[in-house]
Structure 1
Amino acid sequence: MNRQPAYTIEPYASSVERRDRTAELILHIQRNEYGIPITLEDQPDLLEIETFYQKGKGNFWTALHEGEIIGTIALLDIGQDRAALRKMFVKKEFRGGHYAVSKRLLDEAFTWAEQRGLEEIWLGTTPAFQAAHRFYEKNGFAEVTAEMLPPGFPVMEVDKKFYKRIV
């Protein structure tokens, strides 16, 4: 019988090592898997997770397997009971339904949003993340146009496809 490896999901805990390992995972996926020419300097939020994400109704979570960061997800409070879903990345070896890391991370964010009275979650992504598009749609997100984005939504340069989910 094939057993699923044990992992936990917890709110981001600040430390230089945790920050560096989080950035390393995200940058590896962006650059090496998807060929997106992005740097750490292009994403200063990764150097300020506590002050950028963990304020208002926002938060940042990591999935950990044997002390290794295998996934991340964040909700950025953009005001008016809305949040932007950001930094959803899962290490390649832990993707798919067998491990359900992505699903559990997303469910953690949904639970947080419900408990804090958020009404909408918005996200932007790159056209290259096709598996992510299917995942978001399967989990209640509907595609929207850029013109529909709420004020305060942080559009990244690589974001060309947008989604919204009612909480």
Structure 2
Amino acid sequence: MQIKSYEEKYRDQLIKLVLGVQQDEFGVAITLDDQPDLKDISNHYMNGLGHFWVAVQDDKVVGTIGVLFLENGNVAIRKLFTDAEYRGKEYQTGQKLLDTLEAFCIENGKKSIYLGTTDKFKAAHRFYEKNAYDEINKTDLPVDFHVLAVDSKFYQKNIV
């Protein structure tokens, strides 16, 4: 498996993976139209705004993660999703994606990472906590953190 910077050729596979996890696997009431960033990854995450990566196995997108730069050295994780077949210790897809994002943030002088998730993603909560992310209150988020409608649980990690 390889972790690669996003390219347009991965767009359709990425959308299918994210929507499949959200809607089919977890029953989250969210559509593609609710997530304009998925339709235009390059203009939402690249060009100095942050970055986006895909995990690829045999030309198949099996994981995604994005980071958006916020003010004051803060960043927001977005779209950390892995194909159900590529989760867990054997592949460590999520771990590799998160490690890549954290290294990128450190290289770019960032201080704190924030994220929001739905209360339905129990395994994701354990994953973040195992990676030294602390649960925080919504009121503790940076003012420029965009809370999504489905976000009900929030985490933060200092990286400096």
Tell me the TM-score range normalised by the shorter chain. over 0.9
TM-score (norm 1): 0.93
The CA distance in 2 between the partners of 1:57 and 1:166, in whole Å, is: 20
The CA distance in 2 between the partners of 1:35 and 1:47, in whole Å, is: 21
What secondary structure is seen at the aligned counterpart in 2 of 1:79? Answer: coil
State the match for 1:41 in structure 2.
33
The CA distance in 1 between the partners of 2:70 and 2:17, in whole Å, is: 25
What secondary structure is seen at the aligned counterpart in 1 of 2:79? Answer: strand
Are 1:32 and 2:24 an aligned pair? yes
Q: CA deviation at 1:58?
A: 1.0
Letter in 1 for 2:3: I
The 8 Å contact of residues 55 and 77 in structure 1, kept in 2 or not, is answered as no
Are 1:102 and 2:87 an aligned pair? no
The 8 Å contact of residues 81 and 120 in structure 1, kept in 2 or not, is answered as yes
The 8 Å contact of residues 57 and 116 in structure 1, kept in 2 or not, is answered as no
The 8 Å contact of residues 125 and 162 in structure 1, kept in 2 or not, is answered as yes
Letter in 2 for 1:8: Q
Choose from 104, 110, 134 the match for 1:118.
110
Aligned-residue identity in percent: 41
Q: How well do the aligned residues superpose, as a CA RMSD in angstroms?
A: 0.9
Map residues 14-33 of structure 1 onto 2, 5 A cutoff: 14-15=8-9, 18-33=10-25
The CA distance in 2 between the partners of 1:72 and 1:79, in whole Å, is: 23
Map residues 1-167 of structure 1 onto 2, 5 A cutoff: 7-15=1-9, 18-56=10-48, 58-167=50-159
Q: CA deviation at 1:47?
A: 0.9
What secondary structure is seen at the aligned counterpart in 1 of 2:33? Answer: coil
Does the C-alpha gap of structure 1 residues 153 and 147 become closer, same or farther in structure 2, counting only changes over 3 Å? Answer: same
CA deviations on 1:56-101 (whole Å, 9 max, x unpaired) are 3510000000000000001011222111001000000000011111
Letter in 2 for 1:117: G
Letter in 1 for 2:21: I
TM-score (norm 2): 0.97
CA deviations on 1:31-61 (whole Å, 9 max, x unpaired) are 0000011110000000111110113351000
The 8 Å contact of residues 142 and 165 in structure 1, kept in 2 or not, is answered as yes
The 8 Å contact of residues 74 and 86 in structure 1, kept in 2 or not, is answered as yes
Q: CA deviation at 1:14?
A: 2.2
The CA distance in 2 between the partners of 1:55 and 1:111, in whole Å, is: 18
